[in-house]
Structure 1
């Protein structure tokens, strides 16, 4: 058996796969990785299929001991990685032997990193998915929606590669860059006063520390939203404007129904960039057309073989 024993679990380390699709009509969130770009690269480095189970590591601070030989890959936030005290390059594939200690420090840039293993980490499927959803108590290593704990065992295949590999520099995002994110207007956008839509796109917003896997909360000059008397289904990237005028961008663990007016939707590729933004970071938004978003997503999914 090849496995990693958890010595230090970090502040929030969650198993995530392609997500729990097909259950939103019953109020069950899809979950899945907050940064699909980084998660997809970790799996690609190991030849894993799209959506294979990975470990999402928030902020860092993890330590493992290998029980058996494994091939692993790491991507995402700029966590210092070391194997028996020797540095390991991020965005790379590498081998770990039995008895070695794998350690992750804390990220100076980015918020979430992804650890993949050959064949994916094994865990029971709940409603068709391993994805961890703490609020609903679904998924994860024991199937109860729990984050990793000290002593947990992450089991995977050993893998068979002749050498390591890494992601070319041109494909690695700069998480320290100023975040300008693209938005498709829609939903209730036509009911917003023109000056309110302009205010959303012209001002700089601050990402609030209260943001989590359910929603990214913004702070700025409040918007005046139109009144709405009914609720409707919502998806990831939906930009809601509650009565206080401070927008909320729904994330992977979002609720499935919402009654706040909807200004539009964040470009999916930028949803993943948002997941790497630090609390109190300044954000701005620009318009993008649906056709451009569809083209970008086709290229992304074609590249990663979805």
Structure 2
């Protein structure tokens, strides 16, 4: 089940739309996701950095569930096929309109034919491009999010894809949000609530977890933040754990002993033991902006 983003068509183009000129390393459509379908095997999905996603929509006066573009590392290039207003949040980056510098973290008006270039992340990983009215791709199970694990939702945009824009609401109140570019993170600190399978590991190994410094692995993605180079968790009991339900923020430990923090596109079940869970909130949002090599520590949550 997928759909939504349409290939460019000279005739019958929507009244308001943006055309993808450069898709970047990975650009997907995201909203608040589709919670409540885990019993059907459907992950939650949705924007990884919920704070940056929400702010982008507030800057434009959009509904809190409006669909945006989530970019990865090197941004995206778009052409306005009609006059629209956009905003870029998340990872700080250069924003240019038809070659001229434009504001990051503020509404930017585009004339028909104007080209928006969202550049490489200067710190962090993912930027968010919102448009007033939201991207009006069809919903799948109530959401416009692209789920890379299950394949649900809109197809990943490519060069030439035309993204329709919904009706614009009233202009937001001035000063509703003040946004400053965050400094480059030096460490990701994740609060961890132990359980449900912390007893599957040696007590000394669990105690060492609070002192260990891991690093973000380059293999991390929307499914999970993988770690490397830290103290490996040692199993205290053998055998296999039957598959059981997984939640956002679950910290699963595969056979190599290095924790994996489940993010928005995580599977709904898993067979490796979960040593603990990182609760939703700003620290888990920050995991979306943690690039390869960034130090990671777990603290008692």
TM-score, scaled relative to structure 1: 0.86
Q: Does 1:36 align with 2:50?
A: yes
Q: How does 1:85-100 map to 2 (within 5 A)?
A: 85-100=99-114
* 2:38 aligned partner: 24
* 1:255 aligned partner: 267
In the TM superposition, residue 124 of structure 1 has moved relative to its aligned partner by 1.1
1:2 to 11, 16, 19: 16
Q: Does 1:109 align with 2:123?
A: yes
In the TM superposition, residue 283 of structure 1 has moved relative to its aligned partner by 0.9
Deviation string for 1:258-280 (max 9, x for gaps)? 12111111132211101101112
Using the alignment, how far apart are the partners of 2:236 and 2:221 within structure 1?
Answer: 26
User: Match of 2:107, SS?
Assistant: strand
Using the alignment, how far apart are the partners of 1:53 and 1:226 within structure 2?
Answer: 45
Q: Does 1:56 align with 2:70?
A: yes
Using the alignment, how far apart are the partners of 2:278 and 2:125 within structure 1?
Answer: 19
Deviates more, 1:97-106 or 1:181-190: 181-190
Q: Does 1:180 align with 2:227?
A: no
Using the alignment, how far apart are the partners of 1:281 and 1:243 within structure 2?
Answer: 23
| Gap change, CA 1:225 and 1:175, over 3 Å in 2 | farther
2:288 to 275, 278, 289: 275
* 1:200 aligned partner: 209
* 1:287 aligned partner: 300
2:246 to 234, 258, 273: 234
Is the contact made by 1:19 and 1:130 (CA closer than 8 Å) also made in structure 2?
Answer: yes
Using the alignment, how far apart are the partners of 1:237 and 1:89 within structure 2?
Answer: 33
Is the contact made by 1:184 and 1:264 (CA closer than 8 Å) also made in structure 2?
Answer: yes
User: Match of 1:58, SS?
Assistant: coil
Hey, which of these two has a bigger chunk of helix by percent?
Answer: 1
Is the contact made by 1:225 and 1:261 (CA closer than 8 Å) also made in structure 2?
Answer: no
1:246 to 254, 258, 274: 258
Is the contact made by 2:58 and 2:177 (CA closer than 8 Å) also made in structure 1?
Answer: no
User: Match of 2:210, SS?
Assistant: helix
In the TM superposition, residue 180 of structure 1 has moved relative to its aligned partner by 1.8
In the TM superposition, residue 51 of structure 1 has moved relative to its aligned partner by 2.0
Using the alignment, how far apart are the partners of 1:116 and 1:221 within structure 2?
Answer: 40
User: Match of 1:272, SS?
Assistant: helix
Using the alignment, how far apart are the partners of 2:184 and 2:39 within structure 1?
Answer: 35
Structure 2 unaligned blocks of 5 or more: 1-14
In the TM superposition, residue 162 of structure 1 has moved relative to its aligned partner by 8.7
Is the contact made by 1:29 and 1:255 (CA closer than 8 Å) also made in structure 2?
Answer: yes
TM-score, scaled relative to structure 2: 0.87
User: Match of 2:231, SS?
Assistant: coil
Deviation string for 1:86-123 (max 9, x for gaps)? 22222211211111111011112010011111121011
In the TM superposition, residue 2 of structure 1 has moved relative to its aligned partner by 1.7
* 2:11 aligned partner: none
In the TM superposition, residue 134 of structure 1 has moved relative to its aligned partner by 2.7
Is the contact made by 2:96 and 2:118 (CA closer than 8 Å) also made in structure 1?
Answer: yes
* 1:300 aligned partner: none
| Gap change, CA 1:173 and 1:236, over 3 Å in 2 | farther
User: Match of 1:268, SS?
Assistant: coil
* 1:221 aligned partner: 231
